[in-house]
């Protein structure tokens, strides 16, 4: 049975930084027809309404803005109780807060409850797809995929690989990590909407043997993802140089083990050197930038202009990095990305920001033909934004109304979870 | 008639950065008795309850946190429709967005509506006192004080002085600016809870003659405030050097006209040099730091550690700087201050942050004997915070509950207007 959504709607078909106005379709009174979890039609309501069967249910959202669900390129589901932990920078922060919480996820009940809260919170914030770190415990991955499968959300997740520099209860071995990952891939990758990411945490917590095993997994299962962290913090970079004395750079470590590529997501990329950016470009590797986290943990300012340099544009996208990040909201993430860029005299127009957190991040995940757009054939992960969600937004919209770019900028600068009026997963309304 | 508030309560009597645990009083089940707009008693509920008259009304807030109202050291009331304006740094931003909006405030109806929204929004965010810039139009100040007087809020405000580098409708002259300011001081300074601040916008928009006139006002009315901007942005600093070729520094310009002193609030102070900080310290001038604005407009990172250097500690506090700032919330302002400091390897413990936005800012305003604390004799501007205001806060509090410092850090990192459960102005509950 089909149903429809009606209201102002916006979707990107190209990157506005290069395609300008031609990058997006904006309908003042659009209609989106959804059937079996997919979008079957999109167009002006005036044109499409007469063609619908009489009994088609229509959710009407006048004054709102219908968009594809947001996509988060980097987030840790076991860190919902790590968020807002005081006063440490990366390496201390991992030991003091993160590992303590992650240990709890070997308990299946704790993991299930955590995954459940986490997914509901993402959906409440309009995020319908995310690339998610679980913990070292394979059970934490089971719990996550089970909850995601139940909600029918398109999620990417993986078991963290750590075989050193972590407490005993959070360490695997190259062999165990390989076997567990392999079993999880075979069970979950491509089951329903779930996708797997091979997930060595970062070079500090994996031996060469484990990075080697991760490379093997990636070769054996070429359509899985690989996600890890890189170049977030200067002490971390120094530690990687110390642990891998033969390496020319942090990027070189991952490169050596065959971990770069067009389905690899590297979290942070704050302090990359020119040769490293060159190499990310050559391998089509994706830089997942996490502004609220970089500011909160004091890691530094990512340099998007350098990453995008015309002669070797690195593929990029945004992630929240909860719990290092301070918000589940991709709106607030875009707002903080804007600040990171302003501090360096760079620009982030609202159209580019909204492109990034929808179609841009979908392309970064190589899912640009499935999610991140409102168009026939796409999976119906849809959100309804409310530009009047709070008093300051209402007040500001008195001058911004009718101007799409200003409306988007108000949404990202002043908006938060309250600006997500409704979320649809594969065509079904959730929550609210 | 007296009434009382009961619940967990927190108030600072000293600076926790120096006084540690002795800096604050925390009562798990406190009682605050209010009479005629003032606090008359504070203590453990178990002790005080039996002493109250039978018919005393008690507002009971178990699970919440009762604190003094927040204080904002720097904000522009005519910029509620400037907030979240795209893409400019300071000087362009003023011309492109701010001046356009401020022109509208010569219309008394527009000014009254703007002031009304603004004050309600501050109270909704738990801010009960602020140092406020109006526009060049004396009517904008009338409108503001009238609305504040009606709400009985303790506010500091002043007519902006600008006699150059601004559009015609927003310029006064040294004479006119002096006369208008004088009349406003005589009418409003000390009327009810209203206080006046002589308000030259900044050195770029005032001639020497006008700065001279501002200095005269300050000498003639020594118990008024003086508020202006300084050293926010590098292009601004260069422009000041060009406009005042005799000056040794930006600070020197204000110093030369007698504008520094212990009731002077200098907004921003992002790029001050050592001799300038030295001079602020000598004159007991206050630096009003505005983190959300500095990040949003890309002005830079204030250096609180340098400002506080032990041998010449500059008096400091925090402001939102709406509309350059992106939030009316002093909680979110504290969170962004934390980020500014983390980026420089500095610390901002939650106790220090909450001290700053209550007693610290009250002291910065020389009002430390009237507001910013919960203690007998203090004006009863009180807020009730809710550490469980949103799902992520509820989830995080599962591990933070019972730990005051963690609770405060969760409130500032994840909290926003929703974390303000109730606001009392001079003992009266407003809104909600």
Instruction: Tell me the pLDDT tens digit for each residue of B155-177.
Output: 999 999 999 999 999 999 999 99
| DSSP single-letter state for residue B223 | T
- With contacts defined as CB-CB under 8 Å, which chain B residues touch A387? none
Judge: B414–A84 Cβ closer than 8 Å, yes or no. Answer: yes
Q: How far is A305 from chain B (nearest CA, A)?
A: 15
Task: Search chain B and give the residue with CA nearest A82.
Answer: B396
| DSSP single-letter state for residue A379 | B
Closest CA to B287 of B261, B312, B314: B314
Judge: B392–A80 Cβ closer than 8 Å, yes or no. Answer: yes
How far apart (Å, rounded) are the C-alpha atoms in residues B23 and B78? Answer: 37
CA distances from B289 to B315, B319, B354, B357, B423 (A): 11, 6, 15, 11, 24
Q: Which residues contact A272 (CB under 8 A, 6 or more apart)?
A: A230, A231, A250, A251, A280, A287, A307
Q: Which residues contact A26 (CB under 8 A, 6 or more apart)?
A: A8, A9, A10, A404
Beta bridge partners of B264: B226
Share of chain B above pLDDT 90, in %: 94
- With contacts defined as CB-CB under 8 Å, which chain A residues touch B297? 342
Q: Is B33 helix (H, G, I), strand (E, B) or coil?
A: strand
Task: Search chain B and give the residue with CA nearest A391.
Answer: B121
Beta bridge partners of B43: B31
- With contacts defined as CB-CB under 8 Å, which chain A residues touch B295? 295, 339, 342-343
Q: Is A236 helix (H, G, I), strand (E, B) or coil?
A: helix
Cis amide prior to B323 (ω within 30 degrees) = yes
Is the pTM higher than 0.90? yes
Closest CA to B393 of A151, A121, A86, A390: A121
How far apart (Å, rounded) are the C-alpha atoms in residues B76 and B88? Answer: 18
How far apart (Å, rounded) are the C-alpha atoms in residues A192 and B27? Answer: 53
Judge: B121–A344 Cβ closer than 8 Å, yes or no. Answer: no
Instruction: Tell me the pLDDT tens digit for each residue of B262-306.
Output: 999 999 999 999 999 999 999 999 999 999 999 999 999 999 999
How far apart (Å, rounded) are the C-alpha atoms in residues B259 and B255? Answer: 6
Residue of A124, A339, A395 lying closest to B391 (CB–CB): A124
HSE toward the beta carbon, residue B398, CA cutoff 13 A? 16
Judge: B395–A81 Cβ closer than 8 Å, yes or no. Answer: yes
Closest CA to A295 of A144, A89, A153: A89
Instruction: Tell me the pLDDT tens digit for each residue of A304-316.
Output: 999 999 999 999 9
> If you compute the radius of gyration of chain A from its CA atoms, what whole number of angstroms results?
21
How far apart (Å, rounded) are the C-alpha atoms in residues A390 and B80? Answer: 13
Judge: B295–A339 Cβ closer than 8 Å, yes or no. Answer: yes
Contact A18, A364 (CB under 8 A): no
Judge: B417–A390 Cβ closer than 8 Å, yes or no. Answer: yes
- With contacts defined as CB-CB under 8 Å, which chain A residues touch B84? 396, 409-410, 413-414
Judge: B406–A86 Cβ closer than 8 Å, yes or no. Answer: yes
- With contacts defined as CB-CB under 8 Å, which chain B residues touch A398? 81
* Res. A432 pLDDT band, cuts 50 70 90: low
How far apart (Å, rounded) are the C-alpha atoms in residues B185 and A213? Answer: 75
Residue of A80, A296, A409 lying closest to B86 (CB–CB): A409
Q: Which of A129-143, B13-27, B124-138, B140-154 is predicted least confidently?
A: B13-27
Residue of A87, A295, A390 lying closest to B343 (CB–CB): A295
Structure-block tokens of residue B260: 């520094």
Mutate to test the interface with B, among A299, A340, A392 (most CBs of B within 10 A): A392
Contact B141, B156 (CB under 8 A): no
Q: Which residues contact B353 (CB under 8 A, 6 or more apart)?
A: B334, B337, B338, B408, B412
Judge: B342–A121 Cβ closer than 8 Å, yes or no. Answer: no
Contact A64, A8 (CB under 8 A): yes
pLDDT of residue B386: 98
Q: How far is A345 from chain B (nearest CA, A)?
A: 7
Q: How far is B90 from chain A (nearest CA, A)?
A: 11
Please state the rounded mean pLDDT for residues B12-27. 94
Mutate to test the interface with B, among A84, A303, A431 (most CBs of B within 10 A): A84
Handedness of CA A55, A59, A63, A67 (dihedral sign): negative
- With contacts defined as CB-CB under 8 Å, which chain A residues touch B399? 81, 101
- With contacts defined as CB-CB under 8 Å, which chain A residues touch B83? 392, 396, 413-414
Instruction: Tell me the pLDDT tens digit for each residue of B218-249.
Output: 999 999 999 999 999 999 999 999 999 999 99
Contact A89, A299 (CB under 8 A): yes
Q: Which residues contact B162 (CB under 8 A, 6 or more apart)?
A: B136, B170, B171, B172, B200, B201, B205, B206
Q: How far is A49 from chain B (nearest CA, A)?
A: 36
Please state the rounded mean pLDDT for residues A216-237. 97
pLDDT of residue A78: 96
Residue A102 has pLDDT above 70, yes or no: yes
Task: Search chain A and give the residue with CA nearest B323.
Answer: A396
Contact A323, A83 (CB under 8 A): yes
Strand B420-425, strand B428-430: pairing: antiparallel
CA distances from A276 to A73, A249, A272, A307, A314 (A): 20, 7, 6, 10, 10
How far apart (Å, rounded) are the C-alpha atoms in residues B312 and A16? Answer: 50
Judge: B350–A391 Cβ closer than 8 Å, yes or no. Answer: no
| E-state strands within A307-419 | 315-318, 382-385
pLDDT of residue A277: 98
Q: Is A320 exposed, middle or buried (0-12, 13-18, 19+ CB in 10 A)?
A: buried
Please state the rounded mean pLDDT for residues B118-140. 98
CA distances from B307 to A338, B55, B231, B251, B276 (A): 27, 51, 13, 14, 10
Q: How far is A412 from chain B (nearest CA, A)?
A: 9
| DSSP single-letter state for residue A310 | T
Q: How far is A261 from chain B (nearest CA, A)?
A: 31
pLDDT of residue B432: 52
How far apart (Å, rounded) are the C-alpha atoms in residues B95 and A200? Answer: 50
- With contacts defined as CB-CB under 8 Å, which chain B residues touch A323? none
CA distances from B286 to A8, A39, A47, B289 (A): 48, 58, 62, 9
Closest CA to B250 of B261, B258, B238: B238
Instruction: Tell me the pLDDT tens digit for each residue of B36-90.
Output: 999 999 999 999 999 999 999 999 999 999 999 999 999 999 999 999 999 777 8
Structure-block tokens of residue A421: 């009026």
Judge: B343–A300 Cβ closer than 8 Å, yes or no. Answer: yes
- With contacts defined as CB-CB under 8 Å, which chain B residues touch A409? 84-86
Residue of A342, A392, A399 lying closest to B297 (CB–CB): A342
CB–CB contacts below 8 A, A to B: 113
Q: Is B292 exposed, middle or buried (0-12, 13-18, 19+ CB in 10 A)?
A: buried
* Res. A93 pLDDT band, cuts 50 70 90: confident
Judge: B296–A81 Cβ closer than 8 Å, yes or no. Answer: no
Contact A23, A355 (CB under 8 A): yes
Give the number of other Cβ atoms within 10 Å of residue A306's Cβ: 14
Judge: A350–B86 Cβ closer than 8 Å, yes or no. Answer: yes
Q: What angle do CA A169, A322, A265 make, to 5 degrees?
A: 85
Judge: B339–A413 Cβ closer than 8 Å, yes or no. Answer: no
Please state the rounded mean pLDDT for residues B395-424. 96
Q: How far is B46 from chain A (nearest CA, A)?
A: 33
Q: How far out from the chain centre does Cα A432 lie?
A: 23
- With contacts defined as CB-CB under 8 Å, which chain B residues touch A296? 338-339, 342, 413
pLDDT of residue B118: 98
- With contacts defined as CB-CB under 8 Å, which chain B residues touch A80? 392, 395-396
ipTM higher than threshold 0.90: yes
Instruction: Tell me the pLDDT tens digit for each residue of A15-57.
Output: 999 988 899 999 999 999 999 999 999 999 999 999 999 999 9
Contact A131, A70 (CB under 8 A): no
Judge: A297–B342 Cβ closer than 8 Å, yes or no. Answer: yes
Q: Which of A83-97, A369-383, B183-197, B345-359 is predicted least confidently?
A: A83-97
Helix (H) or strand (E) holding A357: none
Task: Search chain B and give the residue with CA nearest A396.
Answer: B81
Task: Search chain B and give the residue with CA nearest A394.
Answer: B81
CA distances from A66 to A23, A123, A331, A410 (A): 17, 15, 15, 16
Contact B52, B27 (CB under 8 A): no
Please state the rounded mean pLDDT for residues A259-277. 98
Q: How far is B410 from chain A (nearest CA, A)?
A: 6
Please state the rounded mean pLDDT for residues B383-389. 98
Strand B195-200, strand B160-161: pairing: parallel
End-to-end CA, chain B: 22
- With contacts defined as CB-CB under 8 Å, which chain A residues touch B301? 343
Mean pLDDT score of chain B: 96
Q: How far is A90 from chain B (nearest CA, A)?
A: 11
* Res. A319 pLDDT band, cuts 50 70 90: very high
- With contacts defined as CB-CB under 8 Å, which chain B residues touch A335? 326
Judge: B391–A347 Cβ closer than 8 Å, yes or no. Answer: no
Closest CA to B10 of B351, B368, B391, B393: B351
* Res. B21 pLDDT band, cuts 50 70 90: confident
Mean pLDDT score of chain A: 96
Contact A297, A93 (CB under 8 A): yes
Mind listing the domains of chain A with CATH numbers? 2-68+372-430 (2.30.40.10), 70-364 (3.20.20.140)
| DSSP single-letter state for residue A313 | P
Q: Which residues contact B238 (CB under 8 A, 6 or more apart)?
A: none
Contact B339, B295 (CB under 8 A): yes
């Amino acid at each position: 049975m089909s149903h429809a959504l009606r209201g102002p709607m916006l979707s990107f078909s190209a990157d506005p930084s290069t395609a300008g106005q031609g990058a997006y379709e904006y309908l003042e009174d659009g209609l989106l027809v959804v059937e079996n979890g997919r979008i079957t039609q999109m167009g002006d309501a005036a044109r499409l309404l007469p063609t619908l069967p009489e009994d088609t249910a229509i959710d009407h959202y006048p004054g709102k803005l219908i968009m594809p669900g947001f996509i988060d390129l980097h987030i840790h589901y076991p860190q919902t109780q790590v968020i807002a932990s005081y006063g440490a920078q990366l390496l201390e922060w991992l030991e003091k807060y993160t590992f303590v919480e992650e240990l709890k996820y070997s308990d299946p009940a704790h993991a299930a409850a955590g995954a459940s809260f986490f997914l509901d919170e993402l959906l409440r914030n309009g995020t319908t797809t995310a690339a998610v770190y679980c913990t070292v415990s394979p059970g934490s991955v089971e719990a996550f995929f089970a909850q995601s499968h139940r909600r029918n959300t398109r999620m990417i997740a993986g078991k963290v690989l750590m075989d050193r520099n972590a407490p005993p209860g959070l360490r695997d071995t190259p062999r165990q990590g390989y076997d567990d990952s392999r079993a999880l891939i075979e069970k979950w990758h491509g089951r329903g909407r779930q996708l797997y990411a091979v997930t060595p945490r970062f070079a500090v917590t994996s031996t060469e043997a484990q990075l080697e095993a991760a490379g093997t997994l990636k070769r054996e299962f070429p359509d899985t993802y690989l996600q890890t962290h890189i170049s977030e913090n200067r002490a971390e970079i120094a530690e990687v140089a110390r642990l891998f004395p033969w390496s020319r750079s942090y990027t070189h470590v991952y490169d050596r083990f065959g971990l770069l590529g067009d389905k690899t997501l590297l979290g942070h990329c704050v302090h990359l050197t020119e040769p490293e950016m060159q190499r990310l470009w050559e391998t089509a590797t994706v830089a997942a930038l996490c502004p609220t986290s970089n500011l909160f943990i004091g890691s530094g300012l990512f340099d998007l202009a350098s990453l995008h340099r015309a002669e070797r544009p690195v593929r990029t996208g945004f992630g929240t990095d909860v719990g290092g990040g301070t918000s589940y909201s991709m709106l607030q993430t875009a707002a903080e990305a804007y600040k990171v860029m302003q501090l360096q005299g760079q620009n982030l127009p609202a159209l580019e920001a909204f492109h990034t957190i929808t179609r841009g991040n979908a392309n970064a995940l190589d899912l640009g033909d499935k999610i991140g757009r409102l168009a026939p054939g796409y999976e119906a992960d849809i959100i309804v934004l409310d530009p009047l969600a709070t008093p300051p937004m209402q007040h500001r919209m008195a001058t911004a109304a009718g101007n799409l770019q200003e409306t988007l900028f108000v949404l990202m600068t002043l908006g938060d979870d309250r600006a997500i009026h409704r979320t649809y997963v594969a065509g079904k309304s959730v929550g609210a």
